[in-house]
């Protein structure tokens, strides 16, 4: 009997052991399957993340290509922010080249603060001021009336006009919240008829605060009236904001007139001045509230290729710096690009860049400043335009090599220059 009971017990224990082993095997297999599933899920997740990153890169590349293609179409306008940013960085489109020989210059440094500037006239009022944000002297006007160059200008067929402007407001609610510029033909040096357009015609360029830049020509005579033009520029990036500085440039080549704001070309009118209709001789600002400075009028643009390659020397006044600074200003881009293009077309040519200053300030400081400016020009040619640094040397002469007496604003502007010498 005991033997039978023992055998039954052993049978039960064996059966229980087998069941437990089976359960453990099942549990173990389930754990293995779970772990396997987790590994597969993690792998899938990582693969998905990698795919998403790859797709994001492709999408960004495609979007950038689309934006670039859209920006190639001149006049294309959109409210998309990314397109605007791309357009604003496309400084290569800035093709303005300042004239070579300065025939009029006024930064109002010769005028006392609070006085009316000596080289101008007005039928209202204006005064020379300084600001806490922008260096130098400025001519401030807030008026219905006009201020104009006192002497008549002797302008050739090809010339450039540049100036800095700060819109300041103050005439809102009077229908004159902006500023106007007129390039006109006056009847004589003292001509003024009290109207808006004395003389034989010209071009008007105007900007309204929070509005749009616009232009129109007014021409006299039956044949001339047929060529009258009007236009405007849309886009938030072109709207001038109060208390910010803008650089305006005008390039006249016989009948063609181009107008630039900062690094953007606003207008390009091939027949703005029909042959024989208008011969501008006066610059006038009117009907607004603004501050003006660094007014520069110069004859034509130099033949960069001929001057540098054939003659071996190019003297340029189209590379700008702020007072006592050595950073090349953005409005110098057109000049810098033209020089870089010549160097790229002539890869064996080596040059020396020489900086010059006027006589204002300390001699030693002017010498150091001219050297730093020459090096800054070289650095931009290398970094921005891809010219090899081994092809360029630099030097500075300070105020020691003037080309004109340092006695007038025009002569001082002639002495502030950058020379490129073929080695």
Q: What is the 3-state secondary structure (H, E, C) of the chain?
A: CHHHHHHHHHHHHHHHHHHHHHHHHHHHHHHHHHHHHHHHHHHHHHHHHHHHHHHHHHHHHHHHHHHHHHHHCCCCCCCCHHHHHHHHCCHHHCCCCCCCEEEEEECCCCCCCCCCCCCEEECCCCEEECCCCCCCCEEEEEEEEEEEECCCCCCCCEEEEEEEEEECCCCCCCCCCEEEEEEEECCCCCCCCCCCCCCCEEEEEEEECCCCCEEEEEECCHHHHCCCCEEECCCHHHCCCCCCCEEEEEEEECCEEEEEECCEEEEEECCCCCCCCCCCCEEEEEEEEEEEEEEEEEECCCCHHHHHHHCCEEEECCCCCCCCCCCCCHHHHHHHHHHHHHHHHCCCCCEEEEEECCCCCCHHHHHHHHHHHHHHHHHHHHHCCCCCHHHEEEEEEECCCCCCCCCCHHHHHHHCEEEEEEC
Q: For the domain made up of 304-422, give the CATH fold.
A: 60s Ribosomal Protein L30; Chain: A; (3.30.1330)
Region 246-262: what's the mean pLDDT?
Answer: 90
How much is the CA Rg of the chain, to the nearest whole Å?
35
What pLDDT score was predicted for residue 349? Answer: 92
Of 420 and 185, the one with more pLDDT = 420
Average model confidence (pLDDT) across the chain: 77
pLDDT above 70 coverage of the chain, percent: 71
Asked whether the predicted pLDDT for residue 230 surpasses 90, the reply is: no
Question: What are 73-78's contacts with CB under 8 Å, separation 24+?
Answer: 77/234, 77/235
Region 243-249: what's the mean pLDDT?
Answer: 91
What pLDDT score was predicted for residue 295? Answer: 96
236 backbone dihedrals φ, ψ, rounded to 5°: -60, -35
**CATH number at 94-299:** 2.60.120.200
Q: Hey, where are the domains in the chain?
A: 21-89, 94-299, 304-422
Convert the pLDDT of each residue in 124-166 to its tens digit: 889 999 999 999 999 998 877 789 998 889 999 889 999 999 9
Of 30 and 94, the one with more pLDDT = 94
Of 88 and 254, the one with more pLDDT = 254
CA 237 to chain centre: 12
Is 304-422 the same fold as 94-299? no
What pLDDT score was predicted for residue 39? Answer: 45
Q: Which of 66-70, 215-219, 411-415 has the lowest mean pLDDT?
A: 66-70
Note whether 392 and 353 are within 8 A (CB): yes
What pLDDT score was predicted for residue 387? Answer: 93
207 backbone dihedrals φ, ψ, rounded to 5°: -135, 130
Convert the pLDDT of each residue in 336-364 to its tens digit: 888 898 899 899 999 999 999 999 889 99
What pLDDT score was predicted for residue 68? Answer: 43
Of 78 and 171, the one with more pLDDT = 171
What pLDDT score was predicted for residue 165? Answer: 94
Q: Which of 276-280, 327-331, 399-403, 415-419 has the lowest mean pLDDT?
A: 276-280
Convert the pLDDT of each residue in 181-193 to its tens digit: 988 888 777 765 4
Of 29 and 233, the one with more pLDDT = 233
Highest mean pLDDT pick, 23-27, 248-252, 314-318, 334-338: 248-252
Asked whether the predicted pLDDT for residue 409 surpasses 50, the reply is: yes
């Amino acid at each position: 009997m005991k033997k039978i009971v023992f055998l039954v017990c052993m049978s039960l224990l064996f059966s229980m052991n087998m069941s437990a082993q089976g359960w453990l095997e099942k549990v173990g297999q389930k754990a293995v399957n779970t772990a396997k599933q987790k590994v597969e899920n993690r792998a899938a997740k990582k693969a998905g993340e990698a795919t998403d990153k790859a797709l994001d890169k492709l999408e960004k590349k495609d979007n950038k290509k689309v934006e670039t293609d859209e920006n190639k179409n001149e006049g294309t306008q959109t409210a998309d922010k990314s397109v605007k940013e791309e357009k604003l960085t496309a400084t290569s489109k800035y093709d303005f080249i300042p004239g070579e020989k300065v025939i009029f210059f006024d930064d109002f440094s010769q005028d006392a603060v609070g006085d009316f500037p000596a080289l101008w006239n007005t039928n209202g009022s204006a005064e020379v001021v300084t600001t806490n944000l922008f260096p130098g002297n400025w001519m401030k006007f807030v008026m219905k009336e006009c201020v104009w160059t006192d002497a008549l200008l002797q302008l050739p067929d090809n010339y450039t006009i540049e100036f800095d402007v700060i819109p300041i407001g103050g005439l809102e609610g009077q229908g004159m919240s902006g500023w106007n510029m007129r390039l006109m033909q006056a009847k004589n040096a003292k001509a003024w008829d009290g109207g808006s357009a004395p003389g034989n015609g010209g071009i008007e360029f105007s900007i309204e605060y929070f509005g749009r830049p616009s232009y129109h020509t007014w021409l006299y005579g039956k044949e001339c009236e047929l060529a009258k033009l009007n236009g405007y520029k849309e886009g938030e990036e072109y709207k001038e904001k109060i208390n910010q500085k803008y650089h305006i440039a005008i390039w006249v080549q016989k009948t063609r007139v181009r107008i630039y704001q900062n690094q953007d070309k606003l207008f390009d009118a091939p027949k703005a001045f029909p042959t024989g209709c208008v011969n501008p001789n006066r610059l006038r600002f009117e009907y607004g509230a603004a501050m003006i400075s660094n007014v520069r009028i110069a004859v034509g643009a130099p033949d960069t290729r001929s001057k540098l390659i054939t003659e071996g020397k190019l003297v340029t006044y189209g590379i700008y710096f702020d007072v006592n600074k050595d950073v090349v200003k953005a409005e110098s881009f057109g000049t810098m690009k033209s020089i870089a293009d010549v160097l790229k077309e002539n890869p064996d040519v080596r040059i020396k860049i020489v900086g010059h200053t006027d006589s204002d300030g300390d001699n030693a400081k002017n010498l150091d400043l001219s050297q730093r400016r020459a090096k800054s020009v070289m650095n931009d040619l290398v970094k921005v335009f891809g010219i090899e640094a081994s092809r360029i040397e630099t030097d500075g002469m300070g105020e020691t090599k003037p080309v004109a007496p340092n006695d007038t604003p025009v002569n001082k502007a002639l002495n502030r220059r950058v020379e490129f010498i073929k080695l």
